[in-house]
Amino acid sequence: MKVGRALRAAVASLLLAAVLVLPAGAGGPVSITFWHGMSGVLNPAIDELTNDFNKLNPGIAVAAQYQGNYGALNQKLIAAVAAGQPPTITQLFPTWTEQLIQAKAIVPVQNFFSGPDGLSEEEVADILPLLRQTNTFNGVQWTMPFNKSLYLLFYNEDLLKQNNLRVPETWDDLLKVAKALTKEEGGRTTRYGFTVRSTEDYFFAFLLTNGGSYLQAGGREVAFNSAAGVEALQFLFDLVQTHKIAYVMSGFADADMGAGKTAMYIATNPGLAFAKAAAAGRFTVGLAPLPYKKNKATILSGTDVAILAKASPEQQAAAWKYIKFITSTNAQARWFMKTYYMPVRRSARDSTLARVYMRDNPEHRAGLDSLAVAKAEPSISEWNEIRTIVNGAVEEALLGKKTPKQALDDAAARANRLLSQRK
Amino acid sequence: MRGLARASSRRRRRLLENVEAWAFLLPAAAVLAVFHFFPILYAFYVSLLKWNMIDPVRPFVGIGNYAALLTDEKFLTALSNTTYFAVVSVLLTIPLALGFAVLLNRKLSGMSWYRTAFFVPHVTSLAAAAMVWHWLYQPDQFGLLNYLIDRVGLPPQRWLLDPAQAMPAIIAVSIWGSIGRDIVIFLAGLQNISPDYYEAAQIDGANGVQSFRYITLPLLSPTTYFVLIVSMIGAFKVFALPLFLTGGGPLDRTLTIVYSIYQQGFQFFRMGYASAQAYALFAVIFVITMLQRRVLAPRVHYDT
């Protein structure tokens, strides 16, 4: 009986000691999570940046966690916010930001500009103005641009050289070059000049280069069904159905170019890595600004980063430090060289590192030159659904089920109905 | 005095037995309550709201979502696509499964291998199978299916990219995947038929077709009835195949109701509307099942 009581006392005191000692976990590094959608070759690049940051900042431990493609990341992010267990930092598209602001789920990065670890006025002005604009909502900068890209024309350089063709600059050039590069053998086309993906971004690329725009002034109605838009969609239809120098597909055009099925297509800069992998050294992949009709333009794409409000003040401070690091001049120059995303800072674009790299890899000139004419999509939460509606219209027109004007007008009616529900 | 004591101890024993029973049921009941009943009731509540899952403001719209369903052309398209899929796939699968089950009911050597072969598609991961089928269905000359029909001299087809061919292509994959399960159920039903009936028929001079028509089919009717109802319910919930093979396209021809629910709820984050669609699906399946019961139940022959 005495032994039993002594034993019980010993266990009780051990438990008491444990309860008192364990919660004092402060002293270890502040650990934060960063949810992203960087797949393929981009994944080790983000890991490298994160590891560098962790080494330079022993008091902070950032865990960069891949969440799948951007669609999956969006779903997981919203679910995590709804469940009250969001990550500390997340990648996000500008169209997701509005929803998160309304739900009070994120903290403006602007709050950290004036803190002890903040950004000077020049450092803030160093960020490309277009990118600062797309990250600002109601006068407050909520998010920080991180991996931005834009749409370019991808082409098989060897094929163009072999056929003495100049890189297309206008829509007419595109038509001529695609015609010249379309090859037929035995009644069947073995190579097409151009790939048309039946997605909304293809249409938007041609809409913008024809002087069209997404929304009308005031933002309550869409403007993509203008004459410029109808002309753009008609041009795509003609490439496929009338001239038969392009084909419609929904998968990855880089694989088709690698297989010799197509000579040109449109995609964003980081796609260059995938295109090179698909080419596997058999030919050089070239990049050029989008062919234009009325004015040069391109679509700004890519994601920003935001800090979630649920994080503790220490975690938020640590998160800001990480964001400051990955958007710094040096990191952005290295990020650009590794992933082909656009540097978000002027100083990164003009740095010696970047300029030497571009001298040796001149195909990136196209992207940097296009930055001046890049246009961002509307950053409203309804835009995701509107993109799907436009996608449907593009499909209908390309498959000949509706005329381009009909398809776009129907899509515009549905999109306007959505927009009218905005408060 | 003693009678009363016995009565009260009996009551206590019954009470203890009840408590014991509930204690054993508790884990399963808890799981069902949390993961089945609560979501079902909460989903109905959400269907009366306009909500994007994270907005703290969620206005009550009553039957607004349900009213919107009736005029939403996309939802009506999904409804008609799903009905087309369900009717065609079930009406094709059941006779095929029955035919194969009859063939597999012989006592030949190696029969268990054949049965396994038919059942394997059913136990294969749907995602993995869909990936392979997606590759088989590659359009132009790069797909295996097109390569095979090219050998026969036919032109290559667009399959999943062709609005007219996409849904039949998905139906084919669905039949491939579910025929095994139906065969197994039919086999069990066939083996439940007493051989005495067949002997009696043989004595009376019936041939194979006649004994199938007058003995097998009627005595198999409970099984057939079961398979019909269960297959129809399952077919209305089709989602994974359009998700992996076509993404709802082309031109929304393979958009099914569950896919629409997923799209509205998890791509556009309109949870209220998605929940209303889910309840609409429930209503549709309920009505169809009741109709099936009305029409078929009297024709089921129970072997008593």
If you count them, how many residues does chain B have? 304
Question: Would you give the distance in Å from CA B11 to the centre of its chain?
Answer: 46
Residue A231 shares a structural domain with residue A268? yes
pLDDT tier, A3 (very low <50, low <70, confident <90, very high otherwise): low
Partner A, chain B 13-52, Cβ-Cβ below 8 Å:
52
pLDDT over 80 (residue A203)? yes
Distance separating alpha carbons of residues B301 and B304, to the nearest angstrom: 9
Residue A199 shares a structural domain with residue A255? yes
Check CB contact under 8 Å for A395 and B53: no
SS (H, E, C) A258-303: HCCCECEEEEECCHHHHHHHHHCCCCCEEEECCCECCCCCEEEEEE
Residue A165 shares a structural domain with residue A120? no
- Give a yes or no: residue A1 inside a domain: no
- Give a yes or no: residue A219 inside a domain: yes
Distance separating alpha carbons of residues B52 and B38, to the nearest angstrom: 19
B135 touches chain A (CB under 8 A): no
Partner B, chain A 152-211, Cβ-Cβ below 8 Å:
188, 198
Distance separating alpha carbons of residues A102 and A96, to the nearest angstrom: 11
B4 touches chain A (CB under 8 A): no
| Residue matched to tokens 């065969």 | B183
Residue in B with minimal Cα distance to A247: B140
B268 touches chain A (CB under 8 A): yes
- The model's pLDDT over B117-170, given as tens digits with 9 standing for 90+, comes to 999 999 999 899 999 999 899 886 678 898 888 888 888 888 888 889 999 999
**Tokens representing residue A306 in the block:** 């935001």
Q: Give the model's pLDDT for residue B150.
A: 84
Residue A194 shares a structural domain with residue A246? yes
pLDDT tier, A9 (very low <50, low <70, confident <90, very high otherwise): low
| Residue matched to tokens 């929940």 | B275
- Give a yes or no: residue A227 inside a domain: yes
Check CB contact under 8 Å for B266 and A75: yes
Quote the number of domains for chain A.
Answer: 2
Residue A407 shares a structural domain with residue A386? yes
Residue A294 shares a structural domain with residue A395? yes
What sign has the CA pseudo-torsion A262, A265, A271, A276?
Answer: positive
Residue A261 shares a structural domain with residue A408? yes
Residue A192 shares a structural domain with residue A236? yes
Size of interface A-B (CB pairs under 8 A): 55
Check CB contact under 8 Å for A401 and B163: yes
Of B56, B251, B269, the CB nearest to A396: B251
- Give a yes or no: residue A157 inside a domain: yes
Q: Give the model's pLDDT for residue A58.
A: 92
User: Using a CB-CB distance cutoff of 8 angstroms, which residues of chain A are in contact with residue B56?
Assistant: 103-104
B53 touches chain A (CB under 8 A): yes
Structural domain range at position A68: 30-148+301-365
Of B54, B249, B250, the CB nearest to A103: B54
- Give a yes or no: residue A18 inside a domain: no
Check CB contact under 8 Å for A384 and B267: yes
Task: Say yes or no: ipTM exceeds 0.90.
Answer: no
Residue in B with minimal Cα distance to A104: B55
Residue A250 shares a structural domain with residue A224? yes
Partner A, chain B 159-198, Cβ-Cβ below 8 Å:
161, 163
Check CB contact under 8 Å for B54 and A78: yes
Residue A61 shares a structural domain with residue A196? no
Check CB contact under 8 Å for B53 and A250: no
A311 touches chain B (CB under 8 A): no
Check CB contact under 8 Å for A78 and B269: yes
Average pLDDT, integer, range A406-412: 95
CATH of the domain at A95: 3.40.190.10
- Higher-pLDDT residue of A27 and B118 is B118
- Asked if omega into B250 is within 30° of 0 (cis), the reply is yes
Distance from CA of A348 to the nearest CA of B (A): 35
B266 touches chain A (CB under 8 A): yes
Distance separating alpha carbons of residues B284 and B81, to the nearest angstrom: 13
Q: Please, what are the domains in chain B?
A: 71-299 (1.10.3720.10)
Average pLDDT, integer, range A200-220: 92
SS (H, E, C) A34-47: EEECCCCCHHHHHH
- Give a yes or no: residue A15 inside a domain: no
A371 touches chain B (CB under 8 A): no
Residue in A with minimal Cα distance to B134: A251
> Which of A365, A392, A408 represents a domain boundary (last residue)?
A365
User: Using a CB-CB distance cutoff of 8 angstroms, which residues of chain B are in contact with residue A82?
Assistant: 53-54
Average pLDDT of chain A, as a whole number: 90
* Span of A147-161, A189-203, A246-260, B64-78 with lowest mean pLDDT: A246-260
Which positions of chain B have pLDDT values less than 50? none
Kindly list the distances between the CA atom of residue A138 and the CA atoms of A108, A130, A311, A419, B214, in Å, as whole numbers in the listed order: 12, 15, 23, 18, 77
Q: Give the model's pLDDT for residue A422.
A: 79
pLDDT tier, A334 (very low <50, low <70, confident <90, very high otherwise): very high
A260 touches chain B (CB under 8 A): no
Average pLDDT, integer, range A107-116: 91
B269 touches chain A (CB under 8 A): yes
pLDDT over 60 (residue A36)? yes
Per the rule left: phi > 0, alpha: psi between -120 and 50, beta: everything else, A271 is alpha
User: Using a CB-CB distance cutoff of 8 angstroms, which residues of chain A are in contact with residue B55?
Assistant: 99, 102-103
- Give a yes or no: residue A76 inside a domain: yes
Residue in B with minimal Cα distance to A250: B161
User: Using a CB-CB distance cutoff of 8 angstroms, which residues of chain A are in contact with residue B269?
Assistant: 78, 99, 381
Residue A159 shares a structural domain with residue A172? yes
- Asked whether A378 and A215 are in contact (CB, 8 A), the reply is yes
- Asked whether A65 and A37 are in contact (CB, 8 A), the reply is no
- Give a yes or no: residue A16 inside a domain: no
pTM metric for this prediction: 0.85
> Which of A365, A390, A408 represents a domain boundary (last residue)?
A365
Residue A309 shares a structural domain with residue A204? no
pLDDT tier, A201 (very low <50, low <70, confident <90, very high otherwise): very high
Instruction: Count CB-CB contacts under 10 A for residue A95.
Output: 19
Q: Give the model's pLDDT for residue B3.
A: 63
Residue in A with minimal Cα distance to B265: A75
